[in-house]
Amino acid sequence: MQRDFTSFFERFGWPKDKGTLPFCIGHRGASGHARENTLAAFRLAAELGAEMWELDTQLTKDGVVVVSHDDHLQRVFGVDKRISQMTATELAALDGVDVPAIEEVAALGSETGTGLYIELKAPGSGLRCWQHLMEKGERFACLGSFDTAQVRELREAGCDYPLSVLVRVGDNPNAVGDEAGADILHLCWERAGERPQDLVTPALMDRAFSAGREIVLWHEERRPILDEIMKLPVLGICTDLPDMMRTMSGGEGKFGRQR
């Protein structure tokens, strides 16, 4: 079965000649090679062939959207402080801490021609991200979250960017998609055993496609699995290692995928 993505690209104003589908989405940038969610990791991902970057949002004490998976800085930077308890100026002044503002990452995306696949962590960050994207006229972007309420907030506010809902192992993807009002089902199933690809069944895909939704897959760094899932008719695949995905063969063209 051929999957044609042309209408999706036209609907949301995404570039029509950007790379080969499924898109390589650098998970927190090229986080397998560089410190996650930093400008260096994002730039490297683009250099290694990623069409998009997956990135996470937090809010500073004064309401500035910054890019970090965690609110706490301990895991990534070894600093016992929380982003939500500091102003953006205080955060920027910390030695050895590189947490970029969403504006900086978006500017780098425009410079490199890379799309933004934004995972909303902090409640309230979605509307701010959407506003910035609109102001800059940046269409190659997606907004999503595990939190269906955050996705629904954007849907009800009239957001005209594609909205993604992240789906945990064991949850019903299409039911979660209905609850969120999402355009994309992002299956976060990297921990679902030795062959998570077996869970992406024809019935699951057919139901998603019939509801007008596309599918994005988890971050995958196991080469045999990556080789298999690249043959699926999905919009994108996340990976810590964009170079692994982009040195592999896979696919029949830019806007179609055989199944």
**Could you list the active site residues?**
27, 69
Tokens of 20: 């080969």
Q: Which residue from 159, 126, 157, 161 is spatially nearest to 141, judged by alpha carbons?
A: 161
Bridge-partner residues for 185, per DSSP?
165, 215
What's 91's DSSP letter? H
Residue 162 CB contacts under 8 Å (≥ 6 apart), including other chains: 8, 12, 142, 143, 183, 184, 214
List alpha helices for 147-190, DSSP H: 148-156, 173-180
Provide φ and ψ at 44, rounded to 5°. -60, -40
How far apart are alpha carbons 42 and 24 in whole angstroms?
Answer: 13
CB atoms within 10 A of CB 225: 17
Beta-carbon contacts of residue 217 (< 8 Å; ≥ 6 apart): 22, 186, 187, 189, 200, 229, 232, 234, 236, 237, 238
Pairing of strands 52-59, 115-120: parallel
